[in-house]
Structure 1
Amino acid sequence: MARLWWGTYPAEGLGTPVGLGEGLWRQDDGTAAQVLELPAPSFVLAHPSEPLLYALSEAPASVVHTIDVSDPDDPRVVASIPTGGTDGCHLLLSREADALYVSHYGSGDLVVLALLPDGMPGYDEQLQRHEHHGHGPRTDRQEAPHAHSASFAPGGKHVLVADLGTDELRRYRVDPGGILEPDGIAATLPGGSGPRHMAVRGDLLYVTCELDSMLRTFRWDAETAEAILIEEQAITAVAPRSEDTRDASHVALVDDVLLVGVRGPDVIAVFDLSPEGWPRYRASLDSGHWPRYFAVIDGRLHIACERGHQARSYAWSDVLALAPEQEIGAIAELPFQEIAITSPACVAQR
């Protein structure tokens, strides 16, 4: 089985004080244990070639920790760089692995951290900080910018930031050395939608919108560097179960199948993509309580069930064979393995 690394929130969950014993967990062969104490490492990212993990502390003073996992029995924090932002929630590695792009939900900005060829931080502070401005119509969630994630636009010449607070995909041109230059707005979404995460296939962008739980498909125009909305649809018809809400979370594209997490209904919605890339809803899979993040690794779908205090995994072949929904709002059930992890938020393989 793949060795997995799970970042976690405090036991009481997101929004509670951090640094109360939570941290990084390692999973091997169906067993998991905490191996490091870190303040709310809610996003974990593996270096593509070096035995390093980057763990982002989602805290009032966010920090990116570089962790040496060359000895998995003795992982060591070898650098901790303050980002200068608050409530950091997402990491993206540059194409050349020479920079990390850090999205901050709290301060609503994007920070660039430089990396050396060996994957270690190049400086002991941020290289760039890009502020966002504006707000949306939802006074409870959109009183200010909330940068939630960053992704490469089709073609790789731009980084797009999903700003939940302003209902925008903000655009940055990628320059040598991982430097980002602000380049305006690639798309403005309907008011109150709350864009959160993105997946890319060819010239199409699939954006999950947390606040209205819609999946929006955009076509990228390479000449104008704009994302043009071409389709929108509800992610799932499953009624809320654990909480009285539908909060879309992560999105991932695997084998021409698009997966979208929805908290409240507590499902992973499964969409098939046509040859042209149009998403067509198939079914909603029971995911466990509050599916914040998930990834398909070595033939299994691994889900961080944040409020269920467990990680679930499903055979990917079972997901691919999942029958189409026969009744609107039905919940599909598949066999799964589970393991106890306190408030899991993110998973990475290394």
Structure 2
Amino acid sequence: MTLLWGTYPAAGLGTPAGLGEGIWRSASPESVAAEQVLDLPAPSFLVAHPTLPLVYAACELPASELAVLDVSRPAAPRVVATLATGGADACHLMLAPDAHTLYVAHYSSGDVAVVRLGADGLPVDDAPAQLLGHAGSGPNAARQEGPHAHSSLIAPGGRHVLVADLGTDELRRYRIVDGGLLEPDGIAATLPPGAGPRHVAVRGNLLYVACELDHQVRTLRWDDASATAEVIAERPSTLVAPRSAELQDSHLALVPGHTGDVLLVSVRGADVIAVFDVAPEGELAYRGAFDAGHWPRYFAVLRYRLVVGEERAHRVRSFALADVIGMPPELGIGEIAELPHEVGEVVSPACVIEV
């Protein structure tokens, strides 16, 4: 297997794109030594087709684009289709379970594009079938002046798409109709003002939400009859103090462990990945955190490895997943564990997938 890394411009998020950044490749998840294999403007999020040798890249631009890559030769990927997504700063992609629809979340414009895909995995139309906007704001004037769609997911039960809106502190709800198109259906959950929901992980009827702005991981219980969710618990995302900047929660993922599930949460500024043990009923217990490098924006859980992008250090790390799952509890409050890892160089890594 090989890894593909999506990246920001060398000068960082928000700087002019299309100046040589693109897709990088690590031939092995163990070593993560990497080389750039394709020029592409700010491909900050990637998702792979489940059965075809295709990868979808969200190019995070003021006028965002979707690029479809043929990765049948991973060392030499090529663009086989592009599509203007209709929004600003596409930051997340979600492929429907049947791989016939792609959902594109736009951070700056706050809308979600619905792109229909054919049996060949390519866009059916020359524009999104839908562009679903939103209105609202939050109390954080610097970050919540308007809606900011940060990610999407399929809700428990499979009948709705949920959108984590960092700008309005809401999980927006859309009913799935007509083979993947969406119908606006209200708000599934409202989080505390200033929370800033960013990414969500699902476990049965529970949703775990990484809240970027107030640094809490919130547990919500989903009610299928009403298609709503309520907050039932919250925990600080880490007990580690800020090291490089103000805390900003980033990504989270559930991992099966030896004695139960584990929830991993990356926290920028503290520059760690926090480890939570998940009780059978879903309650979270903070175990500790380990050093994940400078600005760990995104990580991927593979079969035997955990790979992390250090966005501002222009490096990537690879940990043995067994070391992460088996990390001992912290000895003191705010302690940072050091786990063995391999290091590679990638300019401004933003996302990684295995193909």
Asked if TM exceeds 0.5, the reply is yes
Amino acid at match of 1:242: S
Match of 1:269 in 2: 274
SS, match of residue 319 in structure 1: helix
Shift of 1:242: 1.2
1:123-152 CA-partner distances (Å, limit 9, x unpaired)? 111110100101001110000100000011
Conservation of the 8 A alpha-carbon contact between 2:25 and 2:75: no
SS, match of residue 293 in structure 1: strand
Match of 2:226 in 1: 224
Q: What's the RMSD between the two structures over aligned residues?
A: 0.8
Shift of 1:72: 1.9
1:167-189 CA-partner distances (Å, limit 9, x unpaired)? 00000111232111111000111
Percent of residue pairs identical:
60
SS, match of residue 193 in structure 1: coil
Conservation of the 8 A alpha-carbon contact between 2:90 and 2:105: yes
Amino acid at match of 2:186: G
Match of 1:128 in 2: 130
Match of 1:304 in 2: 309
Match of 1:145 in 2: 147
Instruction: Please give the residue correspondences for 1:313-328 in structure 2 after superposition, counting only pairs within 5 Å.
Output: 313-328=318-333
The structure 2 residue matched to 1:205, chosen from 186, 207, 222, is: 207
**What is the number of equivalent residue pairs in this alignment?**
348
1:180-217 CA-partner distances (Å, limit 9, x unpaired)? 11110001111111000000000000000000010000
Distance 1:59 1:233 in 2: 34
Instruction: Please give the residue correspondences for 1:229-244 in structure 2 after superposition, counting only pairs within 5 Å.
Output: 229-243=231-245
Distance 1:176 1:27 in 2: 39
Instruction: Please give the residue correspondences for 1:253-264 in structure 2 after superposition, counting only pairs within 5 Å.
Output: 253-255=254-256, 256-264=261-269
The farther-off stretch of 176-185 and 266-275 is 176-185
Distance 1:40 1:122 in 2: 24
SS, match of residue 134 in structure 1: coil
Match of 2:290 in 1: 285
Match of 2:13 in 1: 14
Match of 1:166 in 2: 168
Shift of 1:321: 1.1
1:340 paired with 2:342, answer no
Distance 1:48 1:216 in 2: 30
Amino acid at match of 1:250: H
Distance 1:296 1:163 in 2: 24
TM-score scaled by length of structure 2: 0.97
Distance 2:20 2:211 in 1: 32
1:21-49 CA-partner distances (Å, limit 9, x unpaired)? 00011110333111111110000100000
Distance 2:130 2:96 in 1: 14
SS, match of residue 38 in structure 2: strand
The structure 2 residue matched to 1:331, chosen from 327, 333, 336, is: 336
TM-score scaled by length of structure 1: 0.98
Shift of 1:298: 2.6
1:50-97 CA-partner distances (Å, limit 9, x unpaired)? 000001000101001000011223211000100010000000001211
SS, match of residue 322 in structure 2: helix
The structure 2 residue matched to 1:95, chosen from 80, 94, 97, is: 97
Which runs of 5 or more residues in structure 1 are unaligned? none
SS, match of residue 323 in structure 2: helix
The structure 2 residue matched to 1:214, chosen from 213, 216, 223, is: 216
SS, match of residue 154 in structure 1: coil
